[in-house]
Amino acid sequence: MRSFSKFFLLAFVSVLFFQCQKEIGYTGQPDNQPVLPEPLTATLQGNVIDELGQPAPGVTITVGARTATTDLKGNFRIIGASLDKKTSLVTAQKSGYFKAYRSFSATAGANMVKIKLVKRALAGTVDAAAGGTASLSNGSKVALQAGGVVNASTGAAYTGAVKVYAAYIDPSAADISETVPGSFTANDKDGKRVTLTSYGMLAVELEGASGEKLQVKSGAAATLTTAIPAATLASAPATIPMWYVDETTGVWKEEGSATKTGSTYVGQVAHFSFWNCDVSATAVTLTVNLTNADGLPVANAKVRITRANSNWAVYGWTDSLGRVSGYVPNAESLVLDVLNQCNSSIYTQNIAPLSQNTTLPTIVIGTTNTSFVTIKGKIVNCTNAPVSNGFAVITYEGQAYYASTNAAGEFQIAITICSGGANSVEVTPIDNVGQQQGSPSTSTVVAPTTNTGTLTACGTSITQYLNYTLDGTNYTISSTVASDSLTAYTLDSLTAGSAKRTFLNGFKVNGSDRLYIRFNHLSFTTGTYPVSEIVVNNFQQVTLVPQFNIDLTSFPTAAGQYYEGTFSGTFTEGSAATSHTLSGTFRLRRAF
C-alpha cells in the first residue's frame, strides 16, 4: 500500500540500528579513510511505540523524500526508499512527542527499524527577561540566562514566558535501543566516525506563549544539568564531551564538555536539540548474517553487540535477508547476542578485537532452538492459480513481517518467538498483479515450522486512486504505479462531540502531481460534506469558494475499508485571486 499525509505516505520497514549519517565524515579506522556515500534503493519497514510501549498510530515517518504514516499497530512500510549502506536516516513525528531519529546502515533487503517515542512534557516555565531554571524529577535541569532567548525563525529577541519541554533518556534502560535518538554513532570534533558510551541524555525544546519555537540567543548559552544513571556513576569520568543530534543526519556531533558534579554532569550549550554526555571510541563496521538450519534467512531478529565485561551495547535488526551491519569499537573484545522478542539471548558468540571492517561467517541457528519458528504457506489468486508476484503480511506480537512469494506462490520466513508469547499468527495474502487481497487467516504457532496452508488472495480489491481534473487537465495517482503514493485516514477530535477530521492524500514521488483534501464530519454517514482544506499540484495558498463539496459513496468505519466518492468545486490562489476549477474521483484505503 502506498500513502502520505498532507503530501505524506503510508507503509512498513526493515533497517538496523547500529549507525548513520548522510554527510561525508571519517571513520575511526586506523587509516581514517573517508566514509563516502553508498546509495541504494530498498524497502524500509518498522514499528513505532509510545512511551507506554503501546502501538503508536498516526506517526509521520520520513526517509529521504518519502514519507509514511503508521497504522493502528504502529507499523509502516516504504517500498523503493532512497537509503545508504553507511548513512541512512529515518525520522518519526507525532504531536505531543519529541521528533524521533533513527540512523542505520541500510542493506539491499527489506530493512527494519523500531522506534519508541519520547513524551514531550512541560518541565517548567521561565521568564525570558529574568532567566530561570526548569527541573526534572531526577535532578536534571535546564537553566536559561536573562535575555538569552530568541524567536527561532526570526532571530528577534523574545521577552515573554518560555515553556521548557524536557525529557531524560536513561542510557542504562532496557528500552534504550528503541529510544536513543539516531544511534550510538557519532562524528567527533575532528570529523572522525566514532561510537559512543552514554552517561545520560536530555531532549529539550523551548516554546513561546503563542506556541512559537524559541532558541538560545547567538552568543549566549544555557546550562544543562544531566543526571548520571546509578549503574554508571562509579565509572563516570570527571569531565566528559557533550554531543548533540545533527537533525539533518541523525548523527551525534561533539560540541563542548561537561563537568561531573555529584551525580550529574553540568555543561553549557549554545542551542537546543537532544544532548548527550558520552565517551567515544574509534569504530569499524561489523556485518552479521543469520540463517536457520535450512539456510533460510532469519528476518527482523534483534542483534546486540556488547564490549566484553562492560555495559556498553549497540543493537540492530536483521533485514529480510538475515543481515545486519553497523559500527562497533575497534581493537576491543566484543560479545554478540541474538535476542528473542522477550529480549532474552538465544545465541551468543565472542568476537576477537577487530582492526578493520569485518563480515562474520554466517551464523546458523539450529531448528532445535525453540526461540525460532518458520512461517510458511502458499498463496493463490481468484482463479486458484499460484500468485508468483505477491506477498504475505504476517503479524505476530504486534510486529508485521513481509514474505514474498516464489514462482509457485510459496512463501516462508523465519522469525524469533519467546516462551509465553502469543500462540497464534495472523497472515494476510496479497496479489500484486491482480490487485487483490484475501481475508486475514489465523494459524497456531508450532515450532520449528508453522504451515498456514493455501491462502486465497481474492475478495478485496487493493486498487487505490485519486483521479482529478484541474483547469481542464486530467491527472491520475494510482496504487498500480510504483512511484505513486496514497494514503487516507480519519482522526477523532480531542473534544467530545466535536467534528472528526478525514484526510485524503496522494502524490507522484518523481513529479509535481499531488492532491491533499481535508473535510470534517460528526458521523460516518455517506453523503455530501463541505471541504475544509485543499492543496493541489503547485497551489498551496488556496482559498475555497463555497460550496466546495466532497460526496462519499462509501465511508469506512474501520481501518482496511475504503473511502470512495467524488469531489468538485472552485478555488482561488494567492493575491491574484485567479479562479481555478477542480473535480475528481477517489478510492483510498483507510489506514487507521
For the ranges 324-328, 473-477, 488-492, 534-538, the lowest mean pLDDT is seen at 488-492
For residues 579, 581, 586 and 589, what is the CA-based torsion angle, rounded to 10 degrees? 0
> Does the pLDDT value for residue 161 go beyond 90?
yes
Q: What is the CA radius of gyration of the chain?
A: 25
Q: What is the 3-state secondary structure (H, E, C) of 129-152?
A: CCCEEEECCCCCEEEECCCCEEEC
Sign of CA dihedral 106, 113, 366, 449: negative
- 143 found inside a domain: no
Q: Check which CATH number belongs to the domain holding 37 and give it.
A: 2.60.40.4130
* One domain, residues 474 and 565: yes
Q: Which helix (H) or strand (E) holds 392?
A: strand 390-396
411 in a domain, yes or no? yes
Task: Tell whether 197 is covered by a domain.
Answer: no
Contact 27, 33 (CB under 8 A): yes
Q: 139 lies in a domain? A: no
Tell me whether residue 474 is in a domain: yes
Closest CA to 487 of 589, 567, 563: 589
Report pLDDT for 81: 85
**One domain for residues 454 and 492:** no
Kindly state whether residues 415 and 480 are assigned to the same domain: no
Specify whether 554 is located in the same domain as 471: yes
Give the rounded percent of residues in the chain with a pLDDT score beyond 90.
51
When divided into structural domains, the chain yields a total of 3
The C-alpha atoms of residue 328 and residue 463 are separated, in whole angstroms, by 44
Residue 297 and residue 307 in contact, taking contact as beta carbons nearer than 8 Å: no
Q: How far apart are CA 332 and CA 47, in angstroms?
A: 32
What is the pLDDT of the chain when averaged over all its residues?
Answer: 86
Neighbours of 387 (CB within 10 A): 30
| Exposure of 157 in the CB half-sphere (CA atoms within 13 A) | 10
Residue 296 pLDDT greater than 90, yes or no: no
Q: Check pLDDT > 70 for residue 547.
A: yes
Residue that finishes a domain, picked among 395, 426, 461: 461
Same domain? For 490 and 550 the reply is yes
Asked which of 111, 141, 167 is the last residue of a domain, the reply is 111
Q: How many CB atoms lie under 10 A from the CB of residue 518?
A: 17
Cα separations in angstroms, 38 against 21, 62, 105, 107, 255: 11, 19, 10, 10, 27
512, 406: one domain: no
Beta strands 25-26 and 34-35 are antiparallel
Last residue of a domain, one of 80, 111, 142: 111
3-state DSSP call for residue 109? coil
Tell me if 259 is assigned to some domain: no
* Cα gap 327→356, rounded to integer Å: 11
Give the Cα separation of 182 and 589 in Å (integer): 32
Please name the helix (run of DSSP H) or strand (run of DSSP E) that holds residue 179, with its range, or none.
helix 176-179
Most distant CA pair in the chain, distance: 75
The DSSP bridge pattern shows strands 122-127 and 60-63 to be unpaired
Half-sphere exposure in the Cβ direction for 57 (13 Å, CA): 13
Q: Per the domain annotation, does 87 fall within a domain? A: yes
- Residue-wise pLDDT for 178-200, tens only, equals 999 999 989 999 988 899 999 99
Q: Which domain holds residue 37?
A: 25-111
Give me the CATH number covering residue 438: 2.60.40.10
The residue type found at 14 is S
Cell of 263: 551525580
pLDDT over threshold 90, residue 339: no
- Secondary structure letter of residue 533 according to DSSP: E
pLDDT for 494 equals: 56
pLDDT tens for residues 13-23?
222 333 322 22
The grid cell for 173 is 534502560
Any domain includes 101: yes
Amino acid at 65: A
**Res 32: pLDDT:** 41
Between CA 77 and CA 88 the distance in angstroms is 15
Return the higher-pLDDT residue of 540 and 56: 56
Same domain, 452 and 556: no
**What pLDDT does 9 receive?**
29
Are 532 and 584 found together in one domain?
Answer: yes
DSSP states along 467-515: EEEETTEEEEEETTSTTEEEEEEEE--SSTTSPEEEEEEEEETTSS-EE
528 and 447, same domain (yes or no): no
Q: Rounded CA gap, 246 and 200, in Å? A: 18
Let me know whether 474 and 569 are in one domain.
yes
Centre a 10 Å sphere on the Cβ of residue 88 and count the other Cβ atoms it contains: 31
Given this model, what pLDDT does residue 320 score?
85
> Are residues 377 and 406 located together in one domain of the fold?
yes
**Phi, then psi, of 515 in degrees rounded to 5:** -145, 130
Nine cell digits for residue 454: 493455501
Alpha carbon distance 425, 444 (integer Å): 6
C-alpha 63/C-alpha 247 separation (Å) is 13
Q: How many CB atoms lie within 10 A of CB 522?
A: 11
Backbone angles phi, psi at 568, to 5 degrees: -165, 150
Using DSSP bridges, classify how beta strands 132-135 and 66-69 pair: parallel, antiparallel or unpaired: unpaired
Overall average pLDDT of the 133-154 stretch:
96
For the residues 363-380, what does the mean pLDDT come to?
81
Residue length of the chain: 592
pLDDT at 368: 56
Tell me the mean pLDDT in the region 408-412.
94
Positive or negative, the CA dihedral 61, 62, 63, 67 is positive
Cell numbers representing residue 145 in the block? 540566562
Measured between alpha carbons, how far is residue 559 from residues 98, 413, 439, 486, 563 in Å? 26, 26, 14, 15, 10
Distance CA(301)–CA(16), nearest Å, equals 10
Within the chain, how many helices (H) and strands (E) appear?
1, 47
DSSP one-letter code for 341: T
What pLDDT, in 10s, does the model give residues 510-528? 778 999 999 999 999 999 9
Instruction: Tell me: do 551 and 478 sit in the same domain.
Output: yes
pTM, full prediction:
0.72
* Strand, helix or coil for residue 592: coil
Buried b (16+ CB within 10 A) or exposed e, 184-222: bbbbbeeebbbbbbbbbbbbbbbbbeeeeebbbbeebbb
Residue 158: is its pLDDT beyond 80? Answer: yes
